[in-house]
Amino acid sequence: MQRLSLNQSLQQKLSPQQIQFIKLLQVPTAELENRIEEELELNPVLEEGSESEQEEEEEIKNDETPEREPEEGQTESSTEDIDIKDYLRDDDYNSYKTHVDNDGDDDDDREMPVPMGTSLHETLMTQLGFMGLSDREQIIGKQLIGSIEGDGYIRREMESIVNDLAFSQSVDTNLEEVEKLLKRIQSFDPAGIAARNLQECLLLQLDRMDDGQDVDVIVAKRILQECYEEFTKKHYAKILKKLDLDDDDYIKDAIELIVRLNPKPGGELNTGMAKNQYVIPDFILSNNNGKLELALNSRNAPELRISRSYTDMFKAYDKSDKSDKKLKEAVSFVKQKLDAAKWFIDAIRQRQHTLLRTMRAILDFQYDYFLEGDETKLRPMILKDIAQMINMDISTVSRVASSKTIQTDFGVFPLKYFFSEGIATDSGEEVSSREVKQIIKDLIESEDKKKPFSDDKLEDLLNEKGYNIARRTVAKYREQLNIPVARLRKEMR
């Protein structure tokens, strides 16, 4: 038997304004301009410009156009359906700009340069056209080139390419014919192109150097063909034994030759077509004779205002016959756009306020670091620390820190760079994990490359320096620094 019942529950829902603010807060400076342009296109009530510019325009308009007297029978009372008084008065939304200390520059409006070049596939297709192939071979060659990935490798199985040709190109071929065409494509520039794995890629490059006389090339090819697994693991003693050599000088030059080869032959051509990446900092920090001065990037302080021209519509509506349905609908539409414009301007204002509060708290917390840029002076700092300082939610601080950058006298850094966990020392103090990482990096850079430090040895050295750290933490930090294990750091002398 079914029964109806009423239940009360409290649910927290975000308002449209809150959602809009959260989205804007996450947007970095580089994307903020695009977001504002989108809003300007969608909302005709919102426009760019300063209050002074608008006042000048109004003065010119008033000088050229005499003020119009209201006609008989018209009143200036507001309507019952739409309260237009809120839209006729001048308020803070007519013009809005947050002042920043740094001056704007006309260079900000310039387009970012895009380097022109030829893509990898276009280069390969051009070379294919010079091969004098038959129509059938052209189809197979194009299929193979289309299977080459951005780094220059073909990772798709040859059997699958044979099937692709049969089903999509109606070309009945076999593995032998496809591999024969592949060998010809592998002779194209750049050297090593169309290889199926790293070993083949390196051998293809060595083939271009081989004149039958160069000992280093001959030994290098033997190492890759006969001792590839040992080479990748840097087991040099095993290579000497397997090649029946008694002096590591025989393989030292050969290994140096292999290391100089290009593991990604398609990379250079592909990056030539990529748009230059520019980091636009959200904050600018300068050291003025020992005094740190923080400012928002001028792009974070756009000049936005609500167009006064739309108030004429409200004035006309206020003086007109309120039964005009079309005019009433137009006024209702403009009212919605005015509300949306006010919400957007308020969200931009709140974004700037939140950004500055958060960055000032980070600056205060890491003041010693920002004075000199010395990593060892970074204090352990987590999101909760900053959230408590500015009395905001941790999620808000996280949104600011995850996508914003700051320009300092010693480089541009993402805000998340300054957050780190703490490591206890023998003296009972806590130091930043970034300080420990720097010490690990220095130890590895100064180690004997014939006998590099293991993680256990690094743990011992750090403990001797007073840092209480476990071997697994050392391994984690080493991996975060993109430093390989000791065996892979070993070099031949």
Distance CA 390, CA 493 (A): 55
Distance CA 349, CA 99 (A): 11
Is the distance from CB of 36 to CB of 302 less than 8 angstroms? yes
Distance CA 400, CA 25 (A): 7
| Average pLDDT over the chain, rounded to an integer | 76
Task: Give the tens place of pLDDT for each residue, 457-469.
Answer: 898 888 888 888 8
Using alpha carbons, select from 286, 278, 282, 482 the residue that is nearest to residue 402.
Answer: 282
Percent of the chain surpassing pLDDT 70: 72
DSSP alpha helix (H) spans, 81-214: 85-88, 120-129, 135-146, 158-168, 175-185, 198-209
pLDDT classification of 388: cutoffs 50, 70, 90: very high
pLDDT classification of 93: cutoffs 50, 70, 90: very low
Task: Give the tens place of pLDDT for each residue, 319-331.
Answer: 666 666 777 777 7
pLDDT higher than threshold 60 for residue 261: yes
Domains and CATH numbers, the chain: 15-63+77-100+276-419 (no CATH), 120-271 (no CATH), 422-493 (1.10.10.60)
pLDDT-wise least confident of 141-155, 214-228, 242-256, 404-418:
242-256
What is the structure's pLDDT at 335?
80
Q: Which is higher by pLDDT, 372 or 14? A: 372
Report DSSP state, residue 378. Answer: P
Pairing status of strand 46-48 against strand 304-306: antiparallel
Is the distance from CB of 139 to CB of 169 less than 8 angstroms? yes
Mean per-residue pLDDT for 220-243? 84
Task: Give the tens place of pLDDT for each residue, 425-437.
Answer: 776 666 777 788 8
Neighbouring C-beta atoms of residue 486, cutoff 10 Å: 19
What is the structure's pLDDT at 464?
87
The one-letter code for the residue type at 308 is R
SS3 405: strand
**CA atoms within a 13 Å half-sphere pointing along the CA-CB vector of 380:** 11
Mean per-residue pLDDT for 190-217? 83
Cα dihedral 453, 454, 458, 463 sign = negative
pLDDT classification of 255: cutoffs 50, 70, 90: confident
pLDDT-wise least confident of 12-26, 105-119, 194-208, 286-300:
105-119
What is the structure's pLDDT at 276?
45
**What b-and-e string marks burial along 242-268, b requiring 16 or more CB atoms within 10 Å of the CB?**
ebeeeeeeebbebbebbeebeebbbee
What is the structure's pLDDT at 360?
94
DSSP alpha helix (H) spans, 297-452: 311-319, 325-365, 367-372, 383-390, 394-403, 433-445
pLDDT classification of 120: cutoffs 50, 70, 90: confident
**What b-and-e string marks burial along 331-365, b requiring 16 or more CB atoms within 10 Å of the CB?**
beebbebbebbbbbbbbbbbbbebbbbbbebbbeb
Here the tokens at position 310 are 């739309």
Place of tokens 């090649």: 243
DSSP symbols for 228-273: HHHHHTT-HHHHHHHTT-S-THHHHHHHHHHHTS-S-TTHHHHHHH
Task: Give the tens place of pLDDT for each residue, 336-372.
Answer: 888 888 888 888 888 888 999 999 999 999 999 999 8
Q: Which residues pair with 283 in a beta bridge?
A: 296, 406
Using alpha carbons only, give the angle 431, 436, 442 rounded to the nearest 5 degrees.
Answer: 145
Percent of the chain surpassing pLDDT 90: 6
What is the structure's pLDDT at 212?
60
What is the structure's pLDDT at 312?
65
End-to-end C-alpha distance for the chain, whole angstroms = 87
What is the structure's pLDDT at 94?
42
The one-letter code for the residue type at 87 is Y
pLDDT-wise least confident of 13-17, 133-137, 288-292:
13-17
Is the distance from CB of 304 to CB of 348 less than 8 angstroms? yes
